[in-house]
Amino acid sequence: MVMTSSKKDTRYFSLDFWRGAACLLIVVYHSSFYVNENPANQFSDSLSKFIFRMIDHAWLGVPLFFVISGYCITAACDSTRNKAHPLRQYFFRRFRRIFPPYWIYCLLLLAAMVAASKMGFPRLFCDDIHGDHPLASFSVFQWLGNLSLTEIWRANVIGERRWFFVGQSWSLCYEEQFYAICGLLLLLSRRWFFRGAGVMTLLVGVVVLVNSFVTPLPVTGFFFDGRWLLFAAVILVYFRLHYGRPRFVKVAGLGLLAAGCAALALRLREPSAHLEEYYVGFFFAFLISVLYRWDVAIEMSRVLRPITWCGTMCYSLYLIHWPVVKITSHLIYAVGVRGPWPTLAITMPVSVFSAVAAGWGFHLLVERRFLNTQPVLPWHRSAPLATAPVTASQSSPALPTAPPSVPV
């Protein structure tokens, strides 16, 4: 019986392109704040208003990251569960990959904020336009929550309200919970990992329904507030591509489309509901399942190389871009370059270029030292990937090889 996968392993190399695209969306979004969040800036024409309305949705790069990392972690779990001491290896690789670069970035940001204050620019980071919180405003529990990437849910257990030192770290807090749940599933049963993920998804779905339609629950910041469903969607994609029978492949694809359509319908019915990330995430999961057959073509595309290159260092770019974009856009705004069109023509290109340059420097000096597998750009590989139909009898005995995991 012919499987749906067109390759002999489960690596999804063109995810580097999608990582790069998602990360650049976030950079563009953050570089627009001095127009979108400054009441003094009025949109004088409908075209610029429409453009910035679209840019205001670029934050949806975050649920794309949840989906992408879900595929990588599922592949890592699938590979690890057939080895000795799977949990030790799994958690060590996740810790090494995420925390040391994050802590080094926190030290750099702390040093930059102190230096700005000492040099007479205390509002360089902490102005009224989406500024960072002053250092003196953090309590001990808030610092511990930030450094342990538990701040998104820490306030539900102990201490004061959530207070992020690194604004974009809220998504990493969710990623850490996703990784912990996958590790727990490995602990409970390596053989039934995918069934365990399915049961977890059903339980989270029940919690979401009760929280949405019956009575509010104290779930804010926990994985079962609904965001696990984005992660679970791509676990389904992974199983669909590499283990699914033809009938299951069709049902799974229709299920992803139905989930996306349901979230979109609820969003249209209730405009105040924050459901954009769900229908975007479900539709994106379906999209990458369809595009898998063109994986090699996408990763080798010359046109897409700049974005793919950004994807190979996306964790560095995701971490380091905020202070770079904040300083750049702040200074450009301060010298009088304001308004929609000057922002599009000057502020945003300079901010994006500066962020990418800083991200590459952080990647070379810091992140590469903690990678579990060194990245290789696709156009530097010695030979293209082999492509061939995979049969059920060929794929069942052996577990697949996992790609490097990217935690954003």
CB 149 within 8 A of CB 172: yes
Spatial CA neighbour of 194 closest among 78, 68, 67, 69: 78
Mean pLDDT over 143-164 rounds to 95
Whether residue 357 lies inside any domain: the answer is yes
Mean pLDDT, the chain, as a whole number? 87
Mean pLDDT over 72-101 rounds to 87
Interatomic CA distance for residues 387 and 355, integer angstroms: 36
> 262-302: per-residue pLDDT in tens?
999 988 988 877 899 999 999 999 999 999 999 999 999 99
| Helices 15-30 and 61-80, packing angle to 10 deg | 150
Sign of CA dihedral 153, 275, 293, 301: negative
Whether residue 191 lies inside any domain: the answer is yes
Mean pLDDT over 379-395 rounds to 44
> 43-59: per-residue pLDDT in tens?
778 898 899 999 999 99
Which residues make Cβ contacts (< 8 Å) with residue 80, sequence separation at least 6? 86, 89, 90, 186, 402
Rg of the Cα atoms in the chain: 22
Amino acid, res. 164: F
Whether residue 150 lies inside any domain: the answer is no
| Helices 228-242 and 61-80, packing angle to 10 deg | 50
pLDDT for 100: 97
Supply the range of the domain harboring residue 95: 15-132+167-395
Most confident of 33-42, 233-242, 396-405: 233-242
Interatomic CA distance for residues 242 and 390, integer angstroms: 9
CB 36 within 8 A of CB 325: no
Which residues make Cβ contacts (< 8 Å) with residue 293, sequence separation at least 6? 6
pLDDT for 83: 76
Number of domains in the chain: 1
Give Cα 328 distance to the centre of its chain.
Answer: 24
Whether residue 24 lies inside any domain: the answer is yes
pLDDT for 288: 95
The answer on pLDDT for 194 being more than 60 is yes
Interatomic CA distance for residues 344 and 338, integer angstroms: 10
DSSP conformation class of 336:
T
Whether residue 196 lies inside any domain: the answer is yes
Whether residue 302 lies inside any domain: the answer is yes
The answer on pLDDT for 406 being more than 60 is no
pLDDT > 90 in the chain, percent: 67
Whether residue 155 lies inside any domain: the answer is no
pLDDT for 380: 65
CB 166 within 8 A of CB 315: no
Task: Output helix, strand, coil percentages for the chain, rounded to the nearest 5.
Answer: 65, 0, 30
Interatomic CA distance for residues 17 and 292, integer angstroms: 13
Whether residue 368 lies inside any domain: the answer is yes
The answer on pLDDT for 6 being more than 60 is no
